[in-house]
Amino acid sequence: MSDREKLIDLAKLFLKLGTISFGGPAAHIAMMEHEVVRKRKWMSENHFLDLIGATSLIPGPNSTEMTMHCGYERAGWKGLIVAGISFLLPAILITGSFAWLYVEYGELPYVKPFIYGIQPAVIAIIIMAAYKLGKKAIKTAELAFLGIITISACLLGLNEVIALFACGIIGLTIYAFKKSRNTLNSFLPVSLFSGLSLKIGGIKILLTFLKIGAILYGSGYVLFAFLDAELVSTNLLSRQELMDAVAFGQFTPGPVLSTATFIGWQLNGLNGALLATLGIFLPSFLFVGLLNPLIPKMQKSKIFRAFLDAINVAAVSVIIVVCIQMAKETVGDWRMILIACLSIITVFVFKKLNSAFIVLFGAIAGYALSFL
């Protein structure tokens, strides 16, 4: 098969997956495994599992990076780019359409009741995400303690991004103490990202989302903690607008990071949407292409593993903090409390239920309860 035919196959496959891939990263990766390993036999099961492990060691959205890994394995750099863009394109187009509709009609009475009910439903989804991630992230008593400290610090006003990387460095310190050697130096430069402070406008949107895309570890839901720190805390975006963006992100297939497209549109129209999308996803393309040959060594690094273990706990912690802040600001009457409680019960009872259905329930319930 020629390179051109391989690229066409990649584009067809990942356009399809990008259009139907609801349910979060785990569901996306399961679909890829069926198509790439079982159906097309482009790689072995063991190699596919190695790639899954590698995505947890680098920043960015796991399922999106898996598409890029598959594309790279199939057709090199060209395959990486084609697979990545094909997977992202449906979500970006759909999210961009929602963003335009939101800006045009979001304040109209017949739309607001739907958005009103979606907000508490989103809180339930984030609580469930934090619960699932927390079970995997808290491996030791030290990590549990780090999580509690991170939650407390963020609730007292510490910037979430700073808290995330401070926790990672503390995790390295604990590891170094146990091993009686200093291993911090190679990781200190990455914490400098957290010191950047940007104002929104044109190129600033690109730089803001580039920074987030370059340091975003863990679940895509961690994105909302970063955006809360970068945009909400600086009054460039209201928390309600952030929650609306989260809600619309649940309706779209593909990675939840496509929410960046929605927020970029709110900040600066079409140009803002394009710049935010480019910024949030560009680091993943670069990381996958540059680090793919180093994956075996990275997986065996105990130092890197200690750093990521602490980062993962901090990521869950900041998700919890943002969820608390969202609940305080949005769940203000009995209707919202009712929707939030029913949504929380639903996500914990029906754990495999697609989150889009939770958002749909919230929208319908919000509209129905608006008549009471």
Per-residue pLDDT tens digits for 76-99: 999 999 999 999 999 899 888 888
pLDDT, averaged across the chain: 80
- Cα separations in angstroms, 316 against 126, 186, 218: 10, 24, 8
Coil, strand or helix at 114: helix
- With a cut of 70, say whether residue 177 has pLDDT above it: yes
Angle between helices 160-179 and 302-330 (to 10 degrees): 150
Question: What's the pLDDT score for residue 195?
Answer: 39
pLDDT beyond 60 at 182: no
Residues 219 and 128 in one domain: yes
Q: For helices 45-55 and 62-105, give the axis angle rounded to 10 degrees.
A: 60
Tokens 């394995």 map to which residue? 73
Terminal Cα distance for the chain, rounded = 63
**15 falls in which pLDDT band (50, 70, 90)?**
very high
* Same domain, yes or no: 262 and 117: yes
- Domain co-membership, 205 together with 106: yes
Looking at residue 84, its pLDDT comes to 95
* Listed residues 67, 86, 105: the one ending a domain: 86
Which pLDDT value is given to residue 196?
A: 37
For range 121-138, the mean pLDDT: 80
Higher pLDDT, 52 or 57: 52
Q: Are residues 172 and 138 in the same domain?
A: yes
Q: What local confidence, expressed as pLDDT, does residue 112 receive?
A: 66
pLDDT at 212: 85
Q: CB neighbours of 100 closer than 8 A, spacing ≥ 6?
A: 265
Is 158 found in the same domain as 113? yes
**Which candidate, 320, 6, 309, 25, places its Cα nearest to that of 167?**
309
Is the Cβ–Cβ distance between 277 and 92 less than 8 Å?
Answer: yes
pLDDT, tens digit (0-9, with 9 covering 90-100), for 217-267:
655 667 777 788 788 887 888 887 887 787 777 667 778 788 889 899 988
Write down which residue in 86, 115, 149 finishes a domain: 86
Q: Of 86, 113, 138, which residue constitutes the final position of a domain?
A: 86
> Would you state the torsion angle of the CA atoms of residues 318, 69, 256, 98, taken in this order, to the nearest 10 degrees?
150
- Judgement on whether residues 146 and 72 belong to the same structural domain of the protein: no
Do 81 and 102 lie in one domain? The reply is no
Parent domain of 153: 87-369
- pLDDT per residue as tens digits for the range 219-229: 566 777 778 87
Judge if 135 and 53 occupy the same domain. Answer: no
In a shared domain, residues 210 and 332: yes
Check whether 295 has a pLDDT greater than 70: no
Please report how many Cα atoms fall inside a 13 Å half-sphere around the Cα of residue 227, on the Cβ side: 30
- Distances in Å between the Cα of 103 and the Cα atoms of 95, 231, 233, 245, 270 are 12, 18, 21, 11, 11
Q: Are 162 and 194 in contact (CB under 8 A)?
A: yes
pTM: 0.65
Instruction: Categorize the per-residue pLDDT at 199 as very low, low, confident or very high, splitting at 50, 70 and 90.
Output: very low
Place 197 in a pLDDT band, splitting at 50, 70 and 90.
very low
Give the Cα separation of 87 and 326 in Å (integer). 30
CB neighbourhood size of 186 (10 A): 11
Question: Averaging pLDDT over each range in 256-265, 274-283, 291-300, 305-314, which range is the top one?
Answer: 274-283
Domains contained in the chain, number: 2
Answer yes or no: do 144 and 213 share one domain.
Answer: yes
Q: Are residues 58 and 137 in the same domain?
A: no
Note whether 98 and 78 are same-domain residues: no
- Mean pLDDT on 182-192: 39
